[in-house]
Amino acid sequence: MTVAENQFENLRLELRRGCLTLAVLGQLRQEHYGYTLRKALASRGLEIDESTLYPLLRRLESQGLLTSEWREEEKRNKRFYRLSVEGQAVFTRLLEEWGAINAAIENIL
Amino acid sequence: MELLDRYLEAVRKQLPWDRQDDIINELRANLEAQLEDKQEEVGHTLTAEEAKAWVGQLPAPRMMAARYRPQQALIGPALFPTYWTIVRMLTPWLFVLAMIEGAVRLATHAWSAAALPEAILNGIWIVLANIAAVTLVFVVIEYAGVHYPGRFPQIAKVIGKWDLNDLPKIGPVKGYRQRTFGAAVFDAALHALVLAWVLLLPKYPVLILGPGVYAVNALPYTYAPILLDFYWAIVVLNAVQLVWKVVDLDTGAWAGERKVQHFAIKLMGMIPLVILLRAPGHMWILFKDPAAEFDKYGAQLAQINQAIYLGLRILLAIVVVTFVLEIGKWWLESYRRSVKSAARAR
């Protein structure tokens, strides 16, 4: 990778990092477990690495934005996540913030 | 699948011990679901080669585990600028302290081949140990601020505080100020006078000792021949300097910064010191009449010469270290100027 490509990759990752939390909170308005969440996001155009998504779910849960429970499904124990009440409130505010940023970028461009 | 089990075991080993089972159970469920999808896609249970390829494309176990740990930094981004400022302010003073300690060590211990390297290593140790102590203090502050934010709210307040009075003043840029031709001529003329004064000293010691010359003459001591060598070294050094200044006046080099000349003269200035230090038996003061005076003043003379020896060694150590520091500073300034010029040219 050239220096310029490396630089672009770093900036691209920074840009994505900011959007991932919003995308995950948005998708978890419906209940998912890790793999189905990953598939759902990928089908909507957002590919996320396992090593990014699964720890992110844990972190959002530790911050009180998600709730989780273990359930057996298809003979396998899976941990299902969904938005908590606080998570819903934070998601709404983040969405507004996202809208404002989007509008600002549109104006600049 | 055995490979998946081994992968999960590798991740487990790097997880926080109290959350290993919980995380691995969840990860296993997700990865097995992923594997099922893959097998559905290919229409059969994965072969050994296919299993290797599938597990191989998963993130590295240490990367997978790392993201489950909280972000760790010894000194976080909030405190780091303050820490770095303190280290940068402290380091030059630590070097000065190390140099003084080294000079005293060299002067007070018996000279040996290992003395100088030991002094240098000791100096490096002084600098590193103090920086490590400062780092430790900031690590403790960071830890307290992160893990006990309720107990230490002052930490965040202190970091964010600043004072308008601490802002640097804007003024002329420090650097070489060009002198006039008149100043250069005056400098050379003064130097010629100094050389003339030095040349007159052997015949007229009153020019350096003043009225004290009579008291000195009454003492039972005289100077050792080495002092004559020292004297002529001073004369030659001053003569070389004077000639160089006159040549500069003629060639126009007087207008420049003359750093090379400055460093060359400083280096040559160490020669008289070295000559003095090589005095036979480390004796700079002798008796006028050794047979008559030794019993009475022998011990006193030994003390005088010992004190001169100690003083000369300390002086030489300080001169050498100051010279090295000056050269280092000049080199750093030249390097920064060249980088800035190159950046402007681009």
Mean pLDDT, chain B, whole residue set: 83
Question: Looking at beta carbons, which residues of chain B come within 8 Å of A79?
Answer: 25-26, 29
Question: Looking at beta carbons, which residues of chain A come within 8 Å of B37?
Answer: 35, 39
Q: Residue A58: its pLDDT value, please?
A: 93
- State which residue of chain B sits closest to A74, comparing Cα positions: B33
* The token pair that represents B121 in the structure block: 């290593």
Contact A33 B30 (CB under 8 A): yes
What's the mean pLDDT in B58-74? Answer: 82
Residue among B29, B37, B59 whose CB faces A77 most closely:
B29
Q: Residue B174: its pLDDT value, please?
A: 60
Q: Indicate the CATH number for domain A3-108.
A: 1.10.10.10
Q: How far apart are CA A70 and CA B25, in angstroms?
A: 10
Assess whether pLDDT exceeds 70 at residue B177.
no
ipTM of the assembly? 0.82
Q: Are A81 and A68 in contact (CB under 8 A)?
A: yes
Percent pLDDT > 70 in chain A is 99
Contact B23 A58 (CB under 8 A): yes
* The token pair that represents B341 in the structure block: 């010029």
Q: Are B28 and B47 in contact (CB under 8 A)?
A: no
Tens-digit pLDDT profile for residues B154-176: 665 665 566 666 666 666 656 55
The confidence band for B71, taking pLDDT boundaries of 50, 70 and 90, is: low
Contact B67 A79 (CB under 8 A): no
Question: Which residues numbered 20-39 in A keep a CB inside 8 Å of some CB on B?
Answer: 33-36, 38-39
Strand partners, A67: A82
* The token pair that represents B311 in the structure block: 């003083």
Half-sphere exposure of B295 (CA within 13 A, CB side): 2
Q: Are A21 and A56 in contact (CB under 8 A)?
A: yes
Q: Pick from B67, B68, B69 the residue to mutate for testing the A interface (most A CBs within 10 Å).
A: B67
What's the mean pLDDT in A25-39? Answer: 95
What's the mean pLDDT in B280-284? Answer: 83
Q: Where are the domains positioned within chain B?
A: 2-66, 80-166, 181-345
Task: Tell me the DSSP string of B247-302.
Answer: HHHHHTGGGS--HHHHHHHHHHTHHHHHHHHT-GGG-SEEESSHHHHHHHHHHHHH
Q: Are A94 and A25 in contact (CB under 8 A)?
A: yes
* The token pair that represents B184 in the structure block: 């250069």
Identity of the amino acid at B233 = A
Percent pLDDT > 90 in chain A is 72
B194-199, long-range: CB within 8 Å, 24+ apart, which pairs? B194/B238, B195/B235, B195/B238, B195/B239, B195/B242, B198/B234, B198/B235, B198/B238, B199/B235
Q: How far apart are CA B242 and CA B73, in angstroms?
A: 59
- Is the Cβ of A75 closer than 8 Å to some Cβ of chain B? no
